[in-house]
Structure 1
Amino acid sequence: METTALTSPGSFKADLYALHLRLRPLQPGTLMPFSGELVHGAWLEWLRGAAPDVSARLHEGNKRRLFTCSSLQFPLPPAQVREAERNNRHLPLSPEKTYTIRITLLLGELFPHFYKALIQFNHLSGNLRRSPFMQIGRQVFLLEEVIASPDDPARWTGFTTFHDLAEQAALLQPAHCERMTLEFDSLTTFNWINTRNKVYGNYYALLPLPRYLFPGLAKRWQELVAQEPETRELAALVQPELIEEYILDDGVVIDDYDLRPHQVHFSTHVQPGFIGRCVYRLRGPDPPSAPAPSPAAGLSLTVRQQLWLLAYLAFYCGVGYKTPMGMGRVRPL
């Protein structure tokens, strides 16, 4: 197994990890074009065998949301894959090519267990490149490489801490944080219900309006930093009420977009959503910074900086519906 910037867990402690697992099929075959549901199951199955302690942790309460999985990514032109996804037309697999899945870990303590499981699997199997690693549907894959480097050309991998994300946002100057571009790279939607009047029930929101996007990310920030005692003080950096008020006052609006309706097929239903890019304009006035949550944190963020912090977080946690099953993969550009 080759590893790129997959360092020993003792050398650096991050809170968030985005990894690419490069896989090679054992034999020719086909696979449905959107396999997020299958990858989710395959990932949990591998964890049950290789790292049962991690698997048990992820099954506690709502802990399954402490990771995301992508669909298997094919080495094909995006337009060809999108068309196959819409029509649910299986795509070919070749042992001569490599395929990628993206896994993100949203709890720092998960990575050392994952690292240990990989090393043990490599030791027991003798050679990861010759031993079956994961079964996705009926197809068996070998593990070629694990990539964690933030410098990878694909720009979908990396690792960081919550404090580093906050510091990155705090450094933004007003003139450099007025326009935010987000790329929604996999099918995205928001399972939404009007909490004021639920008579019409829920629906799938097919546009990334600010009111769908940022309050949910603010909630995720609060949930994730609360997992560890040393990061709980960072929860106060993000103020959900201030963000919601800023959105209601039209402080953040869509300025440009290149969005397309899309759909993928799950085992039981067709899921509608959208893909593409959206540019948000963060308008003034920018409410003044709140006091630092504690002397240890030493930071305070304006509302615009808070929105940027949430965009940085979204790179790891995704947005919207079914992020553990391949949906809602997004990054700021």
Structure 2
Amino acid sequence: MVLAAVVLELEGEALPEASGLRGFFYRLVREVAPEVHDLGENPFSLGFGGGERGYWARIALLREELYAKLSPRLFALEGQSVRLGRPFRVKAVVQEGHPWAGLTTYPRLFRAPEGPDLPLRFFSPTFFRRKGVHYPLPEPRLVLESLLRRLEGLADLPAPEEVREALLEGTTVRWFEGKTVRAEAEVEAVGFVGRVVYHLPKATEEELSWLWALGRFAFYAGVGAKTALGYGRVKLFSHQAGRD
């Protein structure tokens, strides 16, 4: 039940293009795991970033069998040239030691929760499909429902009904700092970036365990719509310390 975020550290002249990264990934998938598109919930998310110190592309894999098939191909890219909309050389391929790399399991997502406040930072535009339009605000129910649906679908781990109700009906916003920005790839949408501290009052230990599991899952799965284009890239941050 492994989840992994593999980062390609790149040499190039500009950021990867969202559609280029997605096309590159889909070509790999067609070669080694064509069944992916029949699995229901998207078992991956993509992202990219960087600047003066170099660029990177990120492939997060949410099913162990997909990781087993794709990771040998990904790690073999070190030293190779790839095209992610633009040409790049892959300097390194890592799953640890980079802020957006990681490896965990679904059971580990549920390890000791850290209290009733869940702090999430939204790094790339995040939006949701709502009544046929893109909606750009990180309302608690929209965020948690997006994550819960994917976690349940991919891990075959349904939340108890009373936990689901507590999360979706009882979670509020304790603290908020952010703005809306225009999405820049393929979609006509505005998304949210910034920091939100979600709060679940009077929660049981089981409810807090699920709340924090969803927050940790967000690092790998992303939140909201179009995570295959790099939207909805999220991670926990230290609210008390005031830093990431």
Task: Give TM-score, length-normalised by structure 2.
Answer: 0.86
Q: 186, 192, 207: which one pairs with 2:137?
A: 207
Counterpart amino acid of 2:175?
D
% of aligned pairs identical?
A: 26
Structure 1 runs (4+) deviating above 4 angstroms are: none
Note the 1:255-274 alignment, pairs <5 A: 255-267=174-186, 269-274=187-192
Note the 1:120-199 alignment, pairs <5 A: 121=76, 128-129=78-79, 131-132=80-81, 134-137=82-85, 139-149=86-96, 152=97, 154-166=98-110, 168=111, 171-172=112-113, 176-193=114-131
CA distance in 1, matches of 2:126, 2:137: 9
CA distance in 1, matches of 2:127, 2:198: 17
Unaligned runs of 5+ in 2: 238-244
> How many residues align structurally?
237
Q: Provide the residue aligned with 2:173 in structure 1.
A: 254
CA distance in 2, matches of 1:279, 1:192: 22
Greater strand content: 2
Note the 1:1-333 alignment, pairs <5 A: 15-25=2-12, 35-48=17-30, 52-54=31-33, 56-60=34-38, 62=40, 65-71=42-48, 73-76=49-52, 98-118=54-74, 121=76, 128-129=78-79, 131-132=80-81, 134-137=82-85, 139-149=86-96, 152=97, 154-166=98-110, 168=111, 171-172=112-113, 176-193=114-131, 202-226=132-156, 235-236=157-158, 238-239=159-160, 242-248=163-169, 251-267=170-186, 269-284=187-202, 286-287=203-204, 302-333=206-237
Q: How far did residue 258 of structure 1 move?
A: 1.0
CA distance in 1, matches of 2:148, 2:161: 6
Q: How far did residue 43 of structure 1 move?
A: 1.9
Q: Is the alpha carbon distance of 1:61 and 1:255 closer, same or farther for their aligned partners in structure 2, counting shifts above 3 Å? A: closer
Q: How far did residue 74 of structure 1 move?
A: 2.9
Q: Provide the residue aligned with 2:242 in structure 1.
A: none
What RMSD over aligned residues (CA atoms) do the two structures have, in Å? Answer: 2.3
CA distance in 1, matches of 2:89, 2:139: 40
Does the 8 Å CA contact 1:205/1:273 hold for their aligned counterparts? yes
Does the 8 Å CA contact 1:177/1:305 hold for their aligned counterparts? no
Q: Is the alpha carbon distance of 1:140 and 1:330 closer, same or farther for their aligned partners in structure 2, counting shifts above 3 Å? A: same
Q: Is the alpha carbon distance of 1:266 and 1:53 closer, same or farther for their aligned partners in structure 2, counting shifts above 3 Å? A: same
Task: Give TM-score, length-normalised by structure 1.
Answer: 0.65
